[in-house]
Structure 1
């Protein structure tokens, strides 16, 4: 074959390569609302370095370190990425007083706890996560220090503390020396420390507890300072108040990822048992959508270190944990707020209040639930309507719910059947789109609009998420074009062969 012919054959591949490169260059930057967060307690996740195990006592998980460290997380990055997580949220990493495995008994704001590893190893974790297109955050403690922190013995720091100790249902925090966040010196110290960690490790964000314990001006200054270091720096925060009208001011101050604690109970109540209305979930969204400047940036969760585990609710309701977890996670991933999944959810960990709810992670994972989480993560990442779109209720009755998400021309419809029977929801076509079809992304279902409506059928305790698309029939022009390509290619190869034979007299004489 001649060189010209070879070049002719390569042209389509070169054009495809150029188009692919252009598409890659236009890859949209990921925003906070596009993240899927895995929250973990460092000490209770994975032990990757036995050399820092001093004080570890597996026989006493209530009071002692269990060996989890930064190296252990590095070893499990692929495990987390395969489940679709894009951000890892760590418990506090600061050097703690003896047995402060939870990270709350801060002894030094400029050192990592030696049980977790060095600052260099934390930076390695961040760097390795970045290579996998994942981000890392950790909880930055601002409200308190350990009982024996050096400041508590320094007369010059007397004004750094409130007279009242911390009051909390969490025994790890209750009674600790409480920092006075009205003190300018305390504010300056914490802000400088926050900037230092970003510079030293390249960390991508902080989670903040007790944001309602500090004046709003502090959070405005804190947010401005860390985002001057990194304009894409993430801030998530929890507060004791649940009314969205009270919490929106923190989002306006720069903590975009305010945790939506008001969603936790309705979500757990809706899916920890069966045949329960899901209307309360939509009520929460409608309230938040009207109250917050950035409702999609709120953090959504139903399990964390301060609560009993969701599995405990399921067991108490005498339900099947597998089905219950799938339904709750499906809603978490298809609703508008940022999903935050607490470690151990992928194996349906059970447990009461802390520390019973934070056992050492068992990696004898539930493969079915892990695969389910991974599929949900892929669908959410691939369809921006799920992370950035609006939300509209289409149907709700006794546990069967159908809702719509829309963003920049993309329409996604989610259906969840939390009942004991197969359910059918008839949705008027004008609410979704006339003369279209819904293509199942999860269970490959297909629903076409007929007689002005969509007939969505979902089996008991099952779910589906659909993408709206044009109806597909037999595309005759497309089929003809495909066959034409093959015919033209065949003719081209035949004439090229004939031409080659004429140029090769030896082959003709054989």
Structure 2
């Protein structure tokens, strides 16, 4: 298979206008995010490879300086934002602090990751470079966004639940700021979910009473301090469903930047309303159905298609959701199946569906770890291989998405439409007529024979020549607006108008 080359002009043109730092939700739409699990991304000394066995629960040695040293690796895939693990000081127990979700002091940084100056240096390094390779000189001041993971549901303690020393928790240094001890035991009971604690008696996560006016005020002051001190452009917000909705409106507003929340649930009517309180949420319902469809060659597309339609109809704005197919809390896609063709299909869907695409470190290397903590592999074990098939595909998807944004004023706000589906094939349209992208994906995998699917009407004008930018094959739209898609071994296809490609370097044009 010959993959196309991509010119600097094509992948730079979309950001010619973006020479001033900004981080509103509308401006985040055009970004794509690479999720960095800080402790497992890169050590400060890039010549070393610290031991980090699969499933290890402790610090492996990744740092903010390590991220800086490997920005070229991220840049090579074309990402324009990175999301890093929580940055605040953790409890002393390394098995509970390496991931960042067990905070003890919100106003100090996690010294295992580096100093406050190191974190500022990371923000500065991102803002001093554009993350697309070969940018034109006039684009040299393009900045890359920094997204930081934050937690407002709970703090943590090294003590047992009944003997917590609240005085050392900063700034919530009194028991009065927390709910009384009870444990989350029933996720169908929203009161239990919001008022009770995560963890257990020996490893408690004291649950903050975010209905208190003083707690809300303290969080507002802290998040404003965090964002301004470290030049943060966006927040990924943890455990959103464990806090009452109105709190998030206050928190989101106080931060002054785009917030995307984790509502880890597959129920669309449950997840979508949280967007009434914050800018965006992670598209968990679509994630669950896409994973089921693409990882199982015997599955049919019905549930997957219906879930995409449900998200489109029930979420306030799907273009501000976080689109993902892997993260640090869920088993890797390759855990379910080693089929690389299926991995290609779900990656294409992740990158081109509605919302801001997110790729979790190691996904581009086809890592295959099971659920937490086995999905938190050290990336340095891959030697940061830039020739890996999914690394190259990620680069291509970022580039074609950026080209579509540059060529169409409404691409980012156009909601994805399903224009064709059968048991194993689904075609999605995004964009206006002659300027749209058509992605055609399937779940037949590596064993699929070559076959064709005729789609009666896909949205392109009749007679238009379009190019599958992954295979470089051309096809002409028929008189009725239909298109015959010729699958080769189950590989996905991404069609784009031919007349928009000359000068870009795609497929030699």
Q: Normalized against structure 1, the TM-score is what? A: 0.78
Q: In the alignment, what sits opposite 1:74? A: 68
Aligned 8 A contact 2:294 2:345 in 1: yes
Which of 184-193 and 280-289 deviates more? 280-289
CA deviation profile, 1:414-445 (whole Å, cap 9, x unmatched)? 11243322222223358432222222222212
SS at match of 1:456: strand
What does residue range 28-427 of structure 1 map to in structure 2 within 5 Å? 31-48=27-44, 58=52, 62-98=56-92, 99=94, 100-132=97-129, 133-148=143-158, 151=166, 157-164=174-181, 167=184, 175-227=204-256, 233-253=257-277, 255-274=278-297, 276-315=299-338, 320=339, 322-361=340-379, 362-364=381-383, 365=385, 367-384=388-405, 387-407=412-432, 410-419=435-444, 420-427=448-455
Q: Unaligned stretches of 5+ in structure 1?
A: 1-19, 228-232, 473-510
Q: CA deviation at 1:189?
A: 1.3
Q: Does 1:438 align with 2:466?
A: yes
Judging changes above 3 Å, is the alpha-carbon distance between structure 1 residues 458 and 275 closer, same or farther for their aligned structure 2 residues?
farther
Instruction: Output the CA distance in 2 between the equivalents of 1:104 and 1:326.
Output: 31
Q: CA deviation at 1:404?
A: 1.6
Aligned 8 A contact 1:300 1:337 in 2: yes
Instruction: Output the CA distance in 2 between the equivalents of 1:26 and 1:147.
Output: 43
Aligned 8 A contact 2:54 2:374 in 1: no
- RCO (CA 8 Å, sep 6+): is it higher in 1 or 2? 2
Instruction: Output the CA distance in 1 between the equivalents of 2:293 and 2:229.
Output: 44
Which of 239-248 and 459-468 deviates more? 239-248
SS at match of 1:34: coil
Judging changes above 3 Å, is the alpha-carbon distance between structure 1 residues 416 and 163 closer, same or farther for their aligned structure 2 residues?
same
Q: CA deviation at 1:283?
A: 1.6
Instruction: Output the CA distance in 1 between the equivalents of 2:321 and 2:59.
Output: 32
Which of 306-315 and 58-67 deviates more? 58-67
Instruction: Output the CA distance in 2 between the equivalents of 1:58 and 1:156.
Output: 35
Q: CA deviation at 1:356?
A: 1.6
Q: Which has the larger radius of gyration?
A: 1
Judging changes above 3 Å, is the alpha-carbon distance between structure 1 residues 242 and 273 closer, same or farther for their aligned structure 2 residues?
closer
CA deviation profile, 1:57-87 (whole Å, cap 9, x unmatched)? 7469623210000000011111111112111
CA deviation profile, 1:176-203 (whole Å, cap 9, x unmatched)? 2111111222211111111101111111
Q: CA deviation at 1:204?
A: 0.8
Judging changes above 3 Å, is the alpha-carbon distance between structure 1 residues 276 and 165 closer, same or farther for their aligned structure 2 residues?
same
Q: CA deviation at 1:330?
A: 0.9
SS at match of 2:286: helix
Aligned 8 A contact 1:418 1:462 in 2: no
Q: In the alignment, what sits opposite 1:498? A: none
Instruction: Output the CA distance in 1 between the equivalents of 2:216 and 2:19.
Output: 39
Judging changes above 3 Å, is the alpha-carbon distance between structure 1 residues 449 and 357 closer, same or farther for their aligned structure 2 residues?
closer
Q: Normalized against structure 2, the TM-score is what? A: 0.78
SS at match of 1:246: helix
**More helix by percentage:** 1
CA deviation profile, 1:267-308 (whole Å, cap 9, x unmatched)? 111111325333433322211111122111111222222222
Q: CA deviation at 1:237?
A: 0.4
Q: CA deviation at 1:394?
A: 2.4
Judging changes above 3 Å, is the alpha-carbon distance between structure 1 residues 241 and 134 closer, same or farther for their aligned structure 2 residues?
same
Aligned 8 A contact 1:417 1:459 in 2: no
SS at match of 1:236: strand
Instruction: Output the CA distance in 1 between the equivalents of 2:335 and 2:55.
Output: 19
Instruction: Output the CA distance in 2 between the equivalents of 1:145 and 1:451.
Output: 62
Aligned 8 A contact 1:49 1:69 in 2: no
Q: In the alignment, what sits opposite 2:483? A: 454
Instruction: Output the CA distance in 1 between the equivalents of 2:126 and 2:433.
Output: 30
Aligned 8 A contact 2:334 2:368 in 1: yes
Instruction: Output the CA distance in 1 between the equivalents of 2:71 and 2:361.
Output: 13
User: RMSD of aligned C-alpha atoms?
Assistant: 3.1
Q: How many residues are treated as equivalent by the alignment?
A: 437
Judging changes above 3 Å, is the alpha-carbon distance between structure 1 residues 49 and 106 closer, same or farther for their aligned structure 2 residues?
farther
Judging changes above 3 Å, is the alpha-carbon distance between structure 1 residues 27 and 186 closer, same or farther for their aligned structure 2 residues?
closer
Q: In the alignment, what sits opposite 1:492? A: none
